[in-house]
A and B are shown apart, each in its own frame.
Chain A
Amino acid sequence: MPDAGGLEAIAQELRDADPTSVLGTTHANGRAEIQIDPASNVAVLEHLRGRGYSFLASLHGVDYYPHEPRLGVIYELLDMTEVDRISVKARVSTDDPRIATVIEMWPGASFPERELYDMFGVEFDGHDDLRRIHMPEDYEGHPQRRDFPVGGEPVLFTYNENDGYGADQ
């Protein structure tokens, strides 16, 4: 990953291109992260791709409940020639969880974006097939959000099999 100075240089370039895009940078735990405004994610990723970070290693989400904006969309980019990694984080709120899709740049982001939609409820504008990927199609709720209960079943034994299990449910 680029050192702290390199990270600041990249952030400065992005700010020069669009002053509203970069919200901050973090350099910790072996990770160089740029926090951006969700509206400019495609522009930022294009710029970074032009700079050499051409491989999208991972696209995943985090729920920062109770800090707003809650839903974070994180892009882990990789530069294969220099062996360099950089992360881009965009946070959207649950009231308006929309962000632009990146499947034009990386067709392989299709499944991860669907997973983010399924698990967190983030809607990707421009994704041609945004439907649930892990849960059944008609499932309600977004399981990976922090306020969604873990769920689970009490274990079925012979002694309790007629209470609430079986045909009279």
Chain B
Amino acid sequence: MSMLSDYRKREESVTMSTEVAGVGETHELLTLNIGPHHPATHGVLRLIATLEGEVVRDIKPIIGYVHTGIEKTAETKQYWKVIPVVERMDYLSYYFNSMAYCGAVETLLGLEVPPRAQYLRVLHLELNRIMSHLVWLGTSALDLGAMSMFWYCFRERETILDLFEMSSGQRMHTRYFQIGGVIEDIPVGFAEKVQAFVDEMPTRADQYADLLEKNEILLSRLRDTCILDEQTLLGLNVTGPLLRAAGNPWDLRKAAPYSSYDHFDFKIPVGSVGDNYDRFRVRHAELYESTKIIQQALNGLPEGPFIADDRKVVLPPRHELATSMEALIHHFKLVTEGFRVPEGEAYYPIESPRGELGCFVRADGSAKPARVHMRDPSFVNLQATAPMVKDSYIADLIATLAMIDPILGGVDR
């Protein structure tokens, strides 16, 4: 570390306490409103910052600026129509939203997802995780001043969106996951394109590391800033890369595997100090691990149906509609009324790029859910902002917001 990075030690001669310093001087607290329209808050987040000079003494986040009433709208739609509504919640990890919801409904129905569908789901989920981390990396580097990272990360993101467009027809919010599996099998040529992506992604991740890792400014902005220990994070119900950066290796993919995650061999990157630099490194290392999972999913993709067999819940294949009366009746029933789910409540947690994303569904026997609640990780992680940035500079506040990676669509729902 060079001189730049020990500026914090040199400033120890200046006291940051709230007591009167010097003769007859008092330090006033300034209340500053940051947002909701601000270039550096990720989305429409409003922060009321109480400042003493440049030092942040308190932060109060005010949210609700993109509250969409998703959960209320979901109660008025049939179960399979809720999928597009719920996908738009945490708008960078749309596959995860639909996975949590479909998993909850499949639990309520007792529906078995075929292995090919599970592998395809894992493939798309990990591609989405890489994409979400790329957007995070690009926009965080932009906040910190390293503008060119944005273009590099979005270059990879365009490749991933091409893959999504190939498998489902849409770039974002693809409604590819359906209850029982996936809506369609992957087309010819998809596997080769994914293989090409997987071959080049580790080198690209190395390029990002080369651009940022040895940069003095980035290191001094991120190292040893806004440390929060594991116990406080657990008390704040924080999960995901924030908790892993503090040293707790909690990851639902390993702890409580769902959708065949136990078939894959991958590691969980864990930090040691819990500062902004560890949060950055944990997410960057997850890029490599996700690539490994995609490679294994591609190699081991089993043959078989891509969606469950239960015609009461899943649309029959179109070619059967011409010949089979039962298929026609099932199709009609499913499209007009939808399927009924027996009474019950289910909570299905998965590991999204930001932490534990859980979906709670209450079914009351009709064709529409009685309650859909998405436990969003960013909503809970945002409460960690205040303890993290207490007694650090405004510049560290911006860096910390970037490292927390909140997605306000999920926060506000």
Do A and B touch directly, given a CB cutoff of 8 Å in the complex?
yes
- Where the two chains meet, the residues of A that have a C-beta atom closer than 8 Å to any C-beta of B are 28-31, 33, 54-58, 60-63, 74, 76, 80, 83, 85, 87, 106-112, 115, 119, 132-136, 143-144, 146, 148, 150-151
Residues from chain B with a CB closer than 8 A to the CB of A151 are 69
A58 and B72 within 8 A (CB): no
Interface residue? B222 (CB, 8 A): no
B345 and A107 within 8 A (CB): no
Residues from chain B with a CB closer than 8 A to the CB of A143 are 69, 72
A60 and B375 within 8 A (CB): yes
Which segment, of B23-31, B150-158, B232-240, faces chain A? B232-240
B347 and A112 within 8 A (CB): no
Report how far A134 CA is from B376 CA in the complex, Å. 14
- Where the two chains meet, the residues of B that have a C-beta atom closer than 8 Å to any C-beta of A are 63-64, 67, 69, 71-73, 75-76, 107-108, 234-238, 248, 250, 255-256, 344-347, 349, 356, 358, 360, 362, 370-371, 373, 375, 379-380, 382-384, 412-413
Residues from chain A with a CB closer than 8 A to the CB of B108 are 29
25 chain-A/chain-B pairs, Cβ below 8 angstroms: A28-B345, A29-B346, A57-B349, A58-B347, A58-B375, A60-B360, A60-B373, A62-B362, A76-B358, A80-B250, A80-B255, A83-B255, A106-B236, A108-B235, A108-B237, A108-B383, A108-B384, A109-B237, A112-B380, A132-B64, A134-B413, A135-B64, A148-B72, A150-B73, A151-B69
Residues from chain A with a CB closer than 8 A to the CB of B360 are 58, 60, 74, 76
A17 to chain B, nearest CB (A): 24
- Give the contacting residue for B380; candidates A31, A33, A62, A108; CB below 8 A: A108
Residues from chain A with a CB closer than 8 A to the CB of B256 are 83
B66 to chain A, nearest CB (A): 10
B383 and A57 within 8 A (CB): no
B99 to chain A, nearest CB (A): 16
Report how far A109 CA is from B237 CA in the complex, Å. 8
| Other 13 A-B pairs with CB < 8 A, given A57-B349, A87-B347, A108-B384 | A29-B108, A29-B345, A29-B346, A30-B346, A31-B345, A57-B375, A60-B373, A62-B345, A76-B360, A108-B238, A115-B379, A133-B63, A150-B69
A107 and B383 in contact (CB under 8 A), knowing A55-B234, A56-B237, A57-B375?
yes
Report how far A144 CA is from B413 CA in the complex, Å. 12
B107 and A29 within 8 A (CB): yes
B371 and A62 within 8 A (CB): yes
A134 and B67 in contact (CB under 8 A), knowing A60-B375, A107-B235, A150-B72?
yes
